[in-house]
Amino acid sequence: LIPYYTQASIDNINNLDLTNIGQLTQSTFLPFSKSPLFTGTDNGDLIVWNFVDKKSTEQTTSLTKHRVIQKIVNKVIRGAIHCVCALPNNHIFVLASSAGNVRFYDRQCRVVGWVDYLGDAVVSVSFPAQVPNYGDIHDIKDNPFVVPDMIVGTKKHKIIKIESPDKENAGDITRETVLDTFNAVCTAMSAHPTLPLVAIGTDFGDIQIWNIAQKQIVQTINMSQTPNITDMKFSPNGEWLVFAA
């Protein structure tokens, strides 16, 4: 059993000065066992949680998971942290901020890659292609990290495609605005693993499926009873789309 977190539960943790910690925004685990939990805040701080087994009561031998703050990294990125996600199949997590920055960190919270100055607050990040497995970040001296291709959604209704050069070829990261006529605030996004499709959740509660190659909307799913889509993800084979609101 892993307990959920609220702002009040953080405020009640003893022995830590949490007076300057911002409001919680998003959290992620890395896709491996015994991963800490990484939580962003609206002032650019990062909270790293671990879990310890403790007896539920003195009269029982059953164990439950208790949250423990391992560390707090202040101002890990400029601006509010709008998006926290794991890089698929890696020991790397991703932060995106209101300052238009996307940065990649190893599990020791060290920066390993970045894309900055996207011109608008980034609220969602998705990876449409299979990402290489870099293994443990301590072992990548002979396998240097390369920022992967990704698609980001911004607060001002833009969807931007970012592509990195191949390792063998010199060059700069390219940025292309593939949608700039989007008519709502993008609150969540997921790129299809094999097709040029992007699912976008909005603050209206709609889910829109776009073909970014043709720049056309393919389908709209009205979820007006559950406004403000907060997260979504295509399944690895692309047959299912899961969302939270």
CA distance 73 to 111: 12
CB atoms within 10 A of CB 101: 20
pLDDT of residue 60: 47
| 86 DSSP assignment | E
pLDDT of residue 114: 92
Task: Give, for all 245 residues of the chain, the pLDDT tens digit.
Answer: 344 455 555 555 545 556 677 888 989 988 775 778 899 999 999 999 887 766 555 554 544 556 778 888 989 999 999 999 999 888 899 999 999 999 999 888 889 899 999 989 998 899 887 787 777 655 556 677 888 999 998 888 788 999 887 655 545 788 888 888 667 778 888 888 888 899 988 877 788 898 988 888 899 888 767 667 888 888 888 899 998 87
CA distance 101 to 95: 8
CA distance 124 to 102: 10
pLDDT of residue 55: 54
List the one residue out of 171, 174, 63, 167 whose CA is nearest residue 115. 174
176 HSE (CA, 13 A, CB side): 10
CB of 174 closer than 8 Å to CB of 193: no
pLDDT of residue 226: 67
pLDDT of residue 53: 65
Cβ-count burial of 184 within 10 angstroms (0-12 exposed, 13-18 middle, 19+ buried)?
middle
